[in-house]
Chains A and B, each alone.
Chain A
């Protein structure tokens, strides 16, 4: 087992990235001290915002100013400059990039609202719990603008919520914490278009035991797939996927109600459960709320009845 041993490796920018070493040696690498070229490894961390010297590699120069955030990776998408980078520089580039990102956040958000962040540092009291897909395009902090402190968030493949009878998992551990400890008022399950996890679910064979992690996991949405095949099996594959993406959200919403402490709070009006669907092709967002009184989870067939549908575009 690797031991945590900060090693005192020092290097400057002319030396190739962190030295390769044998199995599992953990070392701390220099970060966030852009004023010095020769940096000592150890307990270096960013204590306050230094005046940032431009020390970025060429692919980041698309930034319009020294702290130009949000645009720097556009150059990656456009120019595929990453491939042309020398491999030996990648170690340093990585740290530089993350440093740049963190400093952007610190300057534009953290230092702009010090009292708010001090209050948050003591406690969080988010009103939302959000379950979203791990897909890089659908972070709810971006698409719904959740700010630090607003939403307790689970992200997994295909934004699935397994029912209580499946036993412990990371999703229901987070649910338990959010509902029973943080006492959130809203749970929101957000699905999205072109979800590869749902596509795998629709595509995969149900009669064969899978050796793939993804297939094992998305099998949690099997009921949604059956309903999709029943209602939309005559449609093309991608239309079935779209149908299944929404059906899977509803299935997850119903699975939420299998947790007694969730159902209890819903019934008492302390908690609302919403579904959301983000279509990034057209940039639209659909939202609906479970109509608890009219929904049911009897054995004949779960029914997810909804109210307050909205469509934003």
Chain B
């Protein structure tokens, strides 16, 4: 559903049917993933064609138990060995191996296996030394309480954290992150998660701005545009969640249905932000804040392909009444 499984196959994922016992940090996959005719083509591929464009049978690696245990050098060697056995793929694969190796070396100088705990510890120690200890006054204030001016809805996508994209420091923004940065309409039973965040931010923290930020290449929106929503369901929970954005899909299909799928997704990413802004209006305390002008609603769109950020506002008001 996301571009991830298709594009990062060379690093992480295998075909869904396979479950190797142990995955090494780097798992070069050599199985070609073909799109089924029913689903639309994914908007992004590393190249604009499947890497192994062999019409011949899909290559599935025969995994040995120990294949995933070693370093990436061993993994690459294993791949090379397998390809020697399938000589017709060698030129294509060789080019890909060089590309993968270069990418991996450039992103991670060492070839030691990834240690998540060490990664977290390094990050925390850096934060403590470079941020916390260097701003004692700020953090002393924050320890007593928070008073952020912003409430931000952002996608859970690892590439769009508002702390990076909008440089939010501790104390700046109350941030909710979920798939496709959706805000559902007021529903105390079904959507108490989002509702509790909005309620707390508006009534208790008294934030001044609520910003809903969408982004490019959103897997959740792509799912929204792809799923049929005809009563069948291929996921346990994802379809149920992204269906909040169905009004956006309807509008995009009606107005831009002739455009290529990736462009429709891009329109839907922005239109879904507007649907979320509209849903925010279903919360009475939000409406009240807007009318009293203690609160503003904003929509945003971060395009990480182009490196751009768009921002727009929702105006809400009640015109003076008159009676006849």
Contact = CB atoms under 8 A, between A and B. Distances in A.
A109 B299 CA distance: 23
Contact of B11 (A47, A73, A125, A197): A125
Contacts of B45: 122
Contact of B197 (A134, A151, A287): A134
Contacts of B201: 134
Given A182-B4, A269-B22, A152 B241 contact: no
B23 A185 contact: yes
Given A29-B311, A194-B143, A157 B158 contact: no
Contacts of B19: 268, 270
Contacts of B116: 127-128, 185-186, 272, 274
Interface in B115-133: 116-117, 119-128, 131-133
Contacts of A173: 178-179, 237-238, 240-242
A270 B23 CA distance: 7
B232 interface: no
B158 to A, nearest CB: 4
A23 B318 contact: yes
A25 B177 contact: no
A95 B311 contact: yes
Given A185-B23, A285-B124, A142 B170 contact: yes
A141 B196 contact: no
Contacts of A127: 114, 116, 119
A10 interface: no
A267 to B, nearest CB: 11
Interface stretch (B54-62, B81-89, B161-169): B161-169
A153 B157 CA distance: 7
Given A155-B177, A168-B240, A173-B240, A212 B199 contact: yes
Given A47-B306, A74-B135, A285-B124, A213 B178 contact: no
Contact of B219 (A125, A139, A181, A274): A181
B319 A22 contact: yes
Interface in A131-159: 134-139, 141-157
Most buried by B among A26, A155, A214: A155
A270 B19 CA distance: 9
For this complex, into which size category does the number of interface residues on chain A fall?
A: 35 or more
B98 interface: no
A264 to B, nearest CB: 9
Interface in A31-54: 31-32, 44-48
A73 B106 contact: no
B182 A21 contact: no
Interface stretch (A111-119, A236-244, A247-255, A292-300): A111-119
A268 B303 CA distance: 37
B316 A151 contact: no
Nearest to B116: A186
A136 B6 contact: no
Given A94-B296, A134-B176, A148-B159, A125 B8 contact: yes
A216 interface: yes
B4 A181 contact: yes
A233 B296 CA distance: 42
Most buried by A among B119, B194, B200: B200
Interface string B269-298: 001001001100100000000000100101
Given A1-B278, A136-B148, A121 B1 contact: no
Contacts of A48: 307
B312 A144 contact: no
B159 to A, nearest CB: 5
Contacts of A19: 315
A281 B139 CA distance: 8
6 contacts: A98-B211, A142-B127, A156-B178, A169-B193, A173-B237, A196-B204
Given A124-B158, A134-B175, A268-B19, 4 more contacts: A2-B278, A26-B312, A123-B44, A183-B5
8 nearest A-B pairs in the assembled complex, by CB-CB distance: A145-B123, A123-B7, A173-B241, A217-B196, A213-B195, A168-B240, A126-B158, A136-B148
